[in-house]
Amino acid sequence: MTRDVTPAASEAVLTAQVLDATRRGPWRILKSRSATIGTVLVSVFVGLGVIGILLLLVPGLDATWKAQDLGNALQGPLSPGSPLGTDPNGRDLVARSVVAIGVSCVVAIAVTILSLVIGVVAGLVAGYYRGRIDTLIAGLIDVTWGFPIILLAIMFAGMMRPGFTSIILAVALLSWAGIARIIRGYALSLREREFVAAARALGIPGWRIIVTHLLPNVTAPILVLASYYIAVTIVIEAGLSFLGLGIQQPVPSLGQMLAEGRNFLRLSAWQTALPGGLLVMAVLGFNLLGDGLRDLLDPRLSRPQS
């Protein structure tokens, strides 16, 4: 004997699962060693980034990372006045690394927000309306997704003037495709759910169904995607700056610092070890945090298996 489940009951069960996962989520993320490590790494990276943004924007503080002293160039760690040494121009590596982290945070957050807006809207519209709209958007996704992001980013950045704006636009206009592809899959599944069918039967406009029914149900994957794309953007920004197509002097970037230090690997390997280690920390932290968010927000992973 089968039991009929009404749309209201189905939605109530899903809501209960999400609320239960949310209540138990903080404890789960604390019990997960990888998620805890990711949270700590991201907190340290973002905290340093906030300090770096202040050093970059507050007048008078720029001397801490701009001031050159060629007589103290390539000093090693624990040098007087420079705990982690100096770069080839005698500038303090600590201050420049902190500012570089701030630059990475600004670029990554801006690119991720812009990519999410474009990708989520495109994915939801394509998945809900289907037909020609879906065919057009899916075709754009396939064309964009068919090429490596870093290669297209190099091409776009090379056509524009290097700097913050070129990096943000170049990466965001390419990263949206991966987000749209995943959100479109969720939208195709949600479109067949009972509560969406009931909303259509009541004559609710499509745009309102997307905003009030589909969008809230893709919040969890959006947050997970955000953590992943922040890490990807940090790496792409560093790669473009390493090639001279990203952030320009005198503003520091982790990729730019790697490019400067590669000429002094034998003389001062610390020049590349510091920015390289910070990149590893950022990517590892955001990926581990993303795994923790997935476990926290997905009811199927949060509830115990019977």
> What is the C-alpha separation between 75 and 77, in angstroms, rounded?
7
* Domain harbouring 228, CATH code: 1.10.3720.10
> What is the C-alpha separation between 274 and 87, in angstroms, rounded?
11
- Evaluate if residue 24 carries a pLDDT over 70: no
Would you say residue 191 lies in a domain? yes
Would you say residue 194 lies in a domain? yes
Quote the pLDDT of residue 303. 44
pLDDT tens digits, 179-210? 999 999 999 999 888 888 898 888 889 899 99
Stated pTM of the model? 0.83
**Pick from 261, 232, 17: which is nearest to 119 by CA?**
232
Domain that holds residue 194: 97-251+279-302
| Cα dihedral 249→253→256→262 (10° resolution) | 130
Would you say residue 141 lies in a domain? yes
- Evaluate if residue 49 carries a pLDDT over 90: yes
- Evaluate if residue 83 carries a pLDDT over 90: no
Per-residue CA distances from 226 to 1, 179, 273 (Å): 44, 9, 27
> What is the C-alpha separation between 144 and 176, in angstroms, rounded?
9
> What is the C-alpha separation between 303 and 14, in angstroms, rounded?
12
| Mean pLDDT, rounded, for 60-64 | 82
Would you say residue 263 lies in a domain? no
Would you say residue 66 lies in a domain? no
pLDDT tens digits, 234-268? 999 999 999 888 888 889 999 999 998 888 888 88
Would you say residue 88 lies in a domain? no
Quote the pLDDT of residue 265. 83
DSSP state of 306: -
Q: What are phi and psi of 86, to 5 degrees?
A: -130, 165
CB 120 within 8 A of CB 218: yes
How many domains, in total, are found in the chain? 1
